Structure 1
């Protein structure tokens, strides 16, 4: 029986919430860097079980957690999740506190290792949002860089303004009420097997809470409209987006990137790529790993005198 490439644990986070977590440790020393990873809307860290080991093989450890309101953190049936946890029960303020907790935990777990924050889709926007919140300025000085793939700053096909307004008002009265929020699986990637697995995944529901959805969309608009001005100039950032992403808008991501005052920033377009580049076939996933590893290596302390992160056989 093959050994799992990760260790899993239930850890107590903000609001005494029990979070399901995974840690991927590089199989050989030294650990060159560590990534605290934030997944996207309605999904869970188990969907990255083929990506995170590739980073670990390159000397980059990964700490990942099922976000509040999603995955096993919200739906575990073995008695480990918090009694107050439920699918979709989340909000932006809690998500920011959860990211702070994840970063602080990762710093302790991997002491003296350069720390990066990475997120995909909703998690990508949350990561960018965390970096633009002045409340976290002290912690941000301890982060070597931020990586966002397909960040949900805006939808490729935005919801009607009236619907968003009504949803925002309703979220005040019924924050945890679930409403349909389906994603066309065919828009995720060009790999039909991965898309089919998404639809069959028991931890994924085609729904979200009124508060969670309202915050997800409105905070993305804030990033686009004014929060980009708060980006710490000394904090490096990598934004990656597929040009044919039908879920989150690559044009908006590029606009955010152009507007932030980061001294060191990099934007990578994947021509023809859909929303989940990590699930794209024909070498796209491997190229994504290279882009991430190269960014990490470029922003390691004293990288000029450090040995390069070795390429693993994929």
Structure 2
């Protein structure tokens, strides 16, 4: 089993200087590369042993703090300032193209993982024709509790959503603090304390960014943005059954509409929103690593059905 080399740096794109971090196999071959896209009020250092565990198995992980989040925030005015969806997708695509995607077919295969808001972002990228060339070069997509709808317990009233969309046109960079309680994210008391103490988790969005996040979720759920099974090769969707942040029902409904030759859906019984930080997280780590490495060892498209019925 390989060791882990950690590399920190920055990535410049369209006037932004974004913080990057990579977890690379050391002392063994790189079998696969994984681009990681984090969620709302999150950053790449919040994933515990998830990325080191993958690197020890030969999966190099490359992540960056998105605009408005983590160590990519340089001033209070930057908080939550993600820009519209076009900017969000362009940032992800530029990072993948410059840092990860192979120049030749024989290079290690590339996978993309998105958590929560990041799950909705990578799905939108995968379903956007403009990025078809990039999407075709990705071996598989991993979705951890993707944001396709709010969980019923936290669903805002439609009037609030409509009003926010209108206000976003007038004052797109107006800040709104939208705390996500740590007790909604994980059952682990130590992880909850760590989340509450993390000054980088500012829970601040802009009207533009929040509206764009909701618009992406609605477009995916309604099928206005859809995957092309001729281009998207493999998808693994993982969701906790006790998630009170994103709606597992919406995730399952989206999943059942897909016509993927190689797909897996797994419901993690009793898990909360952050599978990577919850009790039993090692099962999720192992599942993701196994799923990636199976597609490196045998690069054939498998037939698949949802692992779990809800």
1:233–1:268 Cα change, 3 Å: farther
Equivalent residue number for residue 7 of structure 1: 7
Equivalent residue number for residue 304 of structure 2: none
Give the alignment of 1:1-314 within 5 angstroms.
5-13=5-13, 15-75=14-74, 86-90=78-82, 91-107=84-100, 112-157=107-152, 158-227=155-224, 229-235=226-232, 236-281=234-279, 284-300=280-296, 302-303=298-299
Q: Is the 8 A contact 1:148 1:238 kept in 2?
A: yes
Equivalent residue number for residue 308 of structure 2: none
Q: Which moved more, 1:53-62 or 1:202-211?
A: 202-211
Q: Is the 8 A contact 1:33 1:116 kept in 2?
A: yes
Give the Cα separation in 2 of the matches to 1:63 and 1:110: 17
What is the DSSP-based 3-state SS (H/G/I as helix, E as strand, rest coil) of the residue aligned with 2:134? helix
Give the Cα separation in 2 of the matches to 1:254 and 1:229: 15
Give the Cα separation in 2 of the matches to 1:109 and 1:8: 21
Deviation at 1:27, TM superposition (A): 2.0
Give the Cα separation in 2 of the matches to 1:109 and 1:20: 22
Equivalent residue number for residue 307 of structure 2: none
Q: Is the 8 A contact 1:181 1:208 kept in 2?
A: yes
Deviation at 1:303, TM superposition (A): 4.7
Deviation at 1:109, TM superposition (A): 7.8
Instruction: Report the RMSD for the aligned CA atoms in angstroms.
Output: 2.0
Deviation at 1:287, TM superposition (A): 0.6
Give the Cα separation in 2 of the matches to 1:178 and 1:285: 33
Deviation at 1:211, TM superposition (A): 0.6
Give the Cα separation in 2 of the matches to 1:29 and 1:127: 29
Give the Cα separation in 2 of the matches to 1:115 and 1:108: 6
Q: Is the 8 A contact 2:164 2:211 kept in 1?
A: yes
Q: Is the 8 A contact 2:102 2:109 kept in 1?
A: no
What is the number of residues matched between the two proteins? 292
Deviation at 1:229, TM superposition (A): 3.5
Query: Structure 2 length normalisation: TM-score?
Result: 0.89
* 5+ long unaligned stretches in structure 1: 78-84, 305-314
1:116–1:108 Cα change, 3 Å: closer
Give the Cα separation in 2 of the matches to 1:5 and 1:193: 26
What is the DSSP-based 3-state SS (H/G/I as helix, E as strand, rest coil) of the residue aligned with 1:21? strand
* 5+ long unaligned stretches in structure 2: 301-310
CA deviation string 1:189-245 (max 9, x = no partner): 110111121111111112211011111111101100013543334421111000010
**Which one has a larger percent strand, Structure 1 or Structure 2?**
2
Q: Is the 8 A contact 2:4 2:24 kept in 1?
A: no
Deviation at 1:108, TM superposition (A): 5.4
Give the Cα separation in 1 of the matches to 2:54 and 2:225: 28
